[in-house]
Amino acid sequence: MVKACFTGMLASCTIGAMSLLAAPAFAQDGPQPIAPAAPVELSYTAEWSDPEFGRIADLLSGSWRTTSGVSASGGTGSVEIVMTVVPVGLSQVPDALYAEVARADALHRPYRRAIFQLYRHSGSVRLRTLEFRNPEHETVGMMTGLWLAPGLFPDVPRDSLIATLDLVLSRDGDGYRGKTPYPYPTAAGGAVEMTSELTISRDRLTSADRGYDASGNVVWGASGDAAYEYARFDHPFRLEDRDDGVKVIVMRSGDDGIALDDNDQVSLHYSGWLADGTMFDSSLRPGSRALTYQAPGRLIPGWRTATYGMRLGDVRKFILPPDQAYGESGAGNGRIPPNATLVFEVECMFLRRPDDLPAPAGEGEDGHEGHDHNGH
């Protein structure tokens, strides 16, 4: 069940691998030449239907981190939460922003993603939160970290989203203050209804959500004047330009061990999407296994450019233009069309040098999974 609250947004806590990734044109004498494709457009310039929407979006955009710990969902103690917001272009949801929320100690695995939409109702500006009907849908996984390349954000259809609440916004000095126009029904945490409040300024964001029982008592959320407070945050994710138009988003840096290079034995979990958000392959699907090979392998050229230098535990998302993927031929019996830009997310699960100890039992170069960095 969707928890319809703004702080809930912020703070509650197959195709065979080798056969698809290996370019069909790759023979012993190397790949056939492919004409370079046009550069991939990663940036996005929002065109707001109302100038005030642009001012609000400018205040909201960026990364925010709680200034103190919040209760860890399903556990003890507290954690810090990070939310990142960027404008995105959606044909069926105008004036939209994408919000990605994660624990500060697991930024590469956000626990919630949503769309914020700005619109006017009876003359007042409202911010509506839209959550994904199926947050486990394969396309949703593509979005992680893609706020660094919003021009590639998939065009989410309106019927895949469900509205959870509205905040009525009003000017408050150089910022804005918002609150729900009335209590919203909820079944979360023993509450029957809830309210939400929000303040936005250039360098500070606060949120206060409260759930009430049938007697009107606060059963969860901020009590009294208490609120969650967020400050601007320098997010560690980074976008790197590589050779031949390959773009790499570094999402997590693992241990300080060896870096992937020629002749190394490596196991990588991966998922791959077309630019429209269609997942064409994943080693995480039931019955699939990590991609295991000796570098460089017989793989598409952009794969080597994007994965070399990875260390055990590293997580990367990378964007391959067509000439670094399958070019004019496509692949996968039509699942990857000609001239397709591809997006991959990859995690390094096992890595060793040829002169190290033999690989664990079951390790091999046939696409079978080796031991991961947790020993599984």
Catalytic residues, by residue number, are: 270, 280-281, 300, 326, 344
What are the helix (H) ranges across 204-313?
Answer: 301-307
Residues 160-177 as b or e (16 or more Cβ within 10 Å = b) = bbeebbbbbbeeeeebbb
- Alpha helices by DSSP H, 67-207: 138-142
Beta bridge partners of 79: 70
Is residue 294 within 8 Å of 365, Cβ to Cβ?
A: yes
CA distance 258 to 17: 24
Question: In the 8-state DSSP scheme, what is residue 275?
Answer: T
- Rounded CA-CA distance 220/213 in Å is 9
Amino acid at 134: N
Rama region for 86: left / alpha / beta (φ>0; ψ in -120 to 50; rest): beta
Pair 333, 272: CB distance under 8 Å: no
Mapping DSSP to helix (H, G, I), strand (E, B) and coil, where does residue 99 land? strand
Query: Burial level of 337, CB count in 10 A (0-12/13-18/19+)?
Result: middle
CA distances from 131 to 3, 139, 150, 161, 323 (A): 10, 14, 18, 5, 36
* Alpha helix stretches (DSSP H) within the chain: 6-10, 17-21, 51-60, 138-142, 301-307
